[in-house]
Structure 1
Amino acid sequence: MFTVSRAEQAVTVVLGAVAALSPIWVAHSNRALWTLVVLGVLIALAGLSQMADRAAAWTGRALGVLGVLMFISPWVMNFHAYNNASWVAWIVGALTVVVALAEMPEVAGRFGAAAH
């Protein structure tokens, strides 16, 4: 059955894939390329890991950390001058943090969903 948590995990995989593949269609520097690809792949792998093992709470927390790293990467890796690559990093990072927060049992329990 396709539940809300499965949908959130699928969104995580899609977000990671979009970030990893975005250098194909956005202008980027070498740093932006590797940052988007590496963090995008790690986000997608965390989403796949959540799909495979629903009881692993560490993947949700790791996903939150990866989302924050993605969000701050344009400044840390100094590619904020590449507007499109920066926007991809900011949007994917923010949405990843939102999905990670929604996956946490403490938050999911507040909305009536079963804690996993």
Structure 2
Amino acid sequence: MKKWMRWEDYVAGICGLYAALSVFWTRQSSASMTLMLVFGILLIVSGVLNLSMPGTPWLEYVQCALGVLLFISPWIGAYSDHTGAAWTSWITGIVAAGVTAAAIKPAMDAHHRMMPSH
């Protein structure tokens, strides 16, 4: 698996970027702004790490968990009634989690190929 080649990690990073930047054009509460910024930035970081270190399955699991956390954040932060912020969290979170979940098996296969056999 080559560095900087996995489209799934680019998609997850873009979802994080969109979630983080959307706080500027959607109606926010303090909880929604905090959660969207934190999970958005963490998705960007995990996407870059996954792109730079392919074949690292634990990073894929972390990225998938971040997508799920972004998806459930409207209920955690009680902002599900803020339509723009909630829908942004739901859509970007489920897309990030979905594409990352699809990338876990290939990452595990690459990890096994890179490990020396005894």
TM-score by length of 1: 0.86
For 2:28 and 2:71, the matched residues in 1 are separated by 16
- Determine the C-alpha separation between the residues in 2 that align with 1:87 and 1:46: 22
* Alignment pair present for 1:47 and 2:41: no
Amino acid at match of 2:28: H
Report runs of 4+ in structure 1 exceeding 6 Å deviation.
none
CA deviations over 1:3-37 (Å, ceiling 9, x no partner): 9x621111111111001111011111011001000
Distance 1:46 1:99 in 2: 13
Answering whether residue 84 of structure 2 is matched by residue 84 of structure 1, we say yes
Structure 2 distance, partners of 1:6, 1:68, is: 20
1:58-98 alpha-carbon deviations (Å, 9 max, x no partner):
11100111111111110111111100000000001110111
Q: Tell me how large the CA RMSD over aligned residues is.
A: 2.0
Distance in 1 (CA, whole Å) between partners of 2:9 and 2:97 is 12
1:25 equivalent in structure 2: 25
The amino acid of 1:51's aligned partner reads: L
Query: For structure 1, which runs of at least 5 residues remain unmatched after alignment?
Result: none
What TM-score does the superposition give when structure 2 sets the normalisation length?
Answer: 0.84
Per the TM alignment, residue 57 of structure 1 is displaced from its structure 2 partner at its CA by: 0.9
Q: Is structure 2 residue 109 aligned with structure 1 residue 115?
A: yes
Structure 2 alignment gaps of length 5 or more: 111-118
The amino acid that maps onto 1:12 is A
Work out the percentage of aligned pairs sharing the same amino acid: 29
Contact 2:9/2:100, CA 8 A, preserved across alignment: no
1:69 equivalent to 2:69? Answer yes
